[in-house]
Structure 1
Amino acid sequence: MKDPRTLPKAHLHLHLTGSMRPDTLAEWAARDGLDVPEPLPPDRVHGWADFQARYDTARAVVRSAGDIARLVREAAAADAADGAGWLELQVDPTSYAGRLGSTEAVVEAVLVGVAEAPIPVGVVIAASWGAAPEHAERLARLAVGFPGVVGFGLSNDERLGRVGDFAAACQIAAEAGLRIVPHAGFYEPAAHVRDCVELLGAHRVGHAVTAVRCADTLGLLAERRVAVELCPTSYPPLGVGWDLSALLAAGVPVALGTDDPLLFGVGLAGQYQIARGLGCDDPTLAGLARDSIVHSAAPEGVRAALLAGVDDWLAAD
């Protein structure tokens, strides 16, 4: 069996704060006199509040534009070591605007890190499902004003908002050529995934694990070639079921991601190793890598090179 670390791939589901290295977290927490959050205990299922509390503590150690740029560089370096040749990094600039002075300053800091990263990086600007629709529209307008921003998403707990309320924000982004990549179908039923496709025009859907409960929703994703960003290590700690084989059997494109490796402890190559443990052979892993590349916003030259690399990986002895 081939090493998944050497398989060329794209990483399409990674949050800026959740990408933080544990040693960076410890360094910055010590700098600011803050306690390092404990990992989620593995012996029980956790609620969203447990996850969010640890995420918020990690976010609190990020103090400056330089910190944000460093996060981007380190996230890209980790992915490069795991075989990624393209990264799409998701950030809600509202999270850091109070420290940097504006949402624009946050995006500018992210783009400084992008320019210094070891692999090409596209930025996804995300609004929270819990935000007012007007706020999401402001972030969508912010997103379209920056070269280097490739997508617009909706993150956080999907139960906090209604899908239709964010149609206008997604339309603003889509009309400017950005990918629409909301989180959906984590806690909410398959209809939530369908609504994100039909009402928001989603090009990809983050998680979408409940889609497997509805054949019609699986058929919609397969027919419209809407990729699911599946993050295997995100689900067991939160008691959420997931089924990679059902998605693949239905013909749904799947791109493996890490979501928040700071909290869940597994990098990108590790997600492919988990898929292998579920019975995915080398051709299937190569297919997952191809889906990640084809459904990315990477420039055509980057895509072509990565796809050729997948073929070479599969053909090598």
Structure 2
Amino acid sequence: MSLPTPRRDPRGLPKAQLHLHLTGAMRPATLLELAGRHGITVPPPLPGGAGTWAAFQDRYDASRATLRTPADIARVIAEAAADDAADGCRWLEIQVDPTSYAPVFGGLEPVLEAVLAGAAAAPIPVGVLIASSWQRPPAHAEALAKLAARYAPHGVVGFGLSNDERGVDVADFVPAFRVAADAGLLGAPHSGFYTPAAHVRSCVELLGASRIGHGTSAIVDPSVVALLAERQVAVEICPTSYPPFGVHELAAIPVRSFLSAGVPVALSTDDPLLFGVGLAGQYEICRDVLGLTDAELAAVAAGGIRASAAPDSLKKTLLTEVDEWRSCESK
């Protein structure tokens, strides 16, 4: 009688982390320490059941208020990079909207320069993605896109839109994404979390998105799935982000469906401070809950690497190592 083949440790699989917000990257212990140092009330944990976006935003805003110096930001990035590196991450993209930090830091530029300095000192390569909010005026997004373009030679790799994507016209943000594209920055707006598949389509066709933050609603429209596959637009899926809002149960997250359709999947953590699961844990969910095989996990890792803004030489190295992990017999 043959013994079952041991499952591979996903920490040994080379990965890229493409969807991680600065504040949400904090370790819980760091949040407690910084809150105590700055005299800020620590928010309660996010409830495990269904919640509202407003409840999430309240917790996020309170956590962000603890980041008050460049040293605070550098610490969060260094710790997040170390945590991801322990989970097999070899390229990290940290996402930040500098707007809400600006009053404390004295402007948008000081915030961004603190983030870039922290990224440069991190233990693994880190790119920075500037994001405006869907809920701020399009003119503000265009101003941030111009900021991102100015700092493209210094470590900014992309431009996006975060926050609740409901109730706005995608077409209004075309000028901002045109500025970013002209500077060679990738476009990565959040879409398809609360909004339908048509919103995802608009982000691809109007904004020229090369990645979609979340994008899970696209799976219900075969024409949008085909568009994503044809243009190789990656969906940044963050499994633990959906159950608290009632968007998906873990078992219903369509990772395998996207893979089967040829859509790249970039598995990410979003806000591990609030959702409590790191990068390797997201892969474990895909294996243990969604039933993905080692070959499918390797396909996810490869999709994230290809969709990243990592240098081509690093991509080539990591993709070779993913193939080696996939083909290596379990010990």
TM-score bucket of the superposed structures, by smaller chain = over 0.9
Distance in structure 2 (CA, Å) of the matches to 1:18 and 1:107: 17
Map 1:118-137; keep pairs closer than 5 Å.
Answer: 118-137=123-142
RMSD value over aligned CA atoms?
Answer: 0.9
Aligned-residue offset at 1:268: 0.4
Say whether residues 1:228 and 2:244 are aligned partners: no
TM-score normalised per structure 1: 0.98
Specify the alignment match of 1:87 in structure 2: 92
Which letter maps to 1:259? D
Structure 1 residue runs of 4+, over 6 Å off? none
Distance in structure 1 (CA, Å) of the matches to 2:120 and 2:162: 25
Specify the alignment match of 1:264 in structure 2: 275
Distance in structure 2 (CA, Å) of the matches to 1:59 and 1:234: 18
Which letter maps to 1:93? P
In the TM superposition, what whole-angstrom CA distance separates every residue of 1:211-247 from its partner, at most 9, and x where no partner exists?
A: 0111111111011110000000000011002322221
- Local SS of the residue matching 1:200: coil
- Local SS of the residue matching 1:273: helix
Specify the alignment match of 1:193 in structure 2: 200
1:219 aligned to 204, 216, 226, which one? 226
1:245 aligned to 222, 245, 256, which one? 256
Distance in structure 1 (CA, Å) of the matches to 2:164 and 2:232: 25
How much identity, in percent, do the aligned residues show? 61
Aligned-residue offset at 1:34: 2.0
Specify the alignment match of 1:292 in structure 2: 304
2:295 aligned to 264, 276, 283, which one? 283
- Local SS of the residue matching 2:100: helix
Aligned-residue offset at 1:88: 0.7
In the TM superposition, what whole-angstrom CA distance separates every residue of 1:266-310 from its partner, at most 9, and x where no partner exists?
A: 000000000101111111100000000011110011111111111
Consecutive unaligned residues of structure 2, counting only runs of 5 or more, are 1-6
Task: State how many pairs are aligned.
Answer: 316
2:11 aligned to 1, 5, 10, which one? 5
In the TM superposition, what whole-angstrom CA distance separates every residue of 1:94-133 from its partner, at most 9, and x where no partner exists?
A: 1211111111111100111111101001100000001111
The answer to whether the 8 Å contact 1:131/1:161 transfers is: no
Specify the alignment match of 1:255 in structure 2: 266
Distance in structure 1 (CA, Å) of the matches to 2:167 and 2:293: 38
Specify the alignment match of 1:111 in structure 2: 116
Consecutive unaligned residues of structure 1, counting only runs of 5 or more, are none
Distance in structure 2 (CA, Å) of the matches to 1:129 and 1:227: 20
Map 1:25-174; keep pairs closer than 5 Å.
Answer: 25-42=31-48, 44-146=49-151, 147-174=154-181
Distance in structure 2 (CA, Å) of the matches to 1:248 and 1:314: 16
In the TM superposition, what whole-angstrom CA distance separates every residue of 1:128-163 from its partner, at most 9, and x where no partner exists?
A: 001111111110010011120000000000015221
In the TM superposition, what whole-angstrom CA distance separates every residue of 1:163-219 from its partner, at most 9, and x where no partner exists?
A: 111000000000111000000011111000000000000000000111011111111
Distance in structure 2 (CA, Å) of the matches to 1:235 and 1:52: 15
Distance in structure 2 (CA, Å) of the matches to 1:170 and 1:17: 24
TM-score normalised per structure 2: 0.94
The answer to whether the 8 Å contact 1:129/1:155 transfers is: yes
- Local SS of the residue matching 1:86: strand
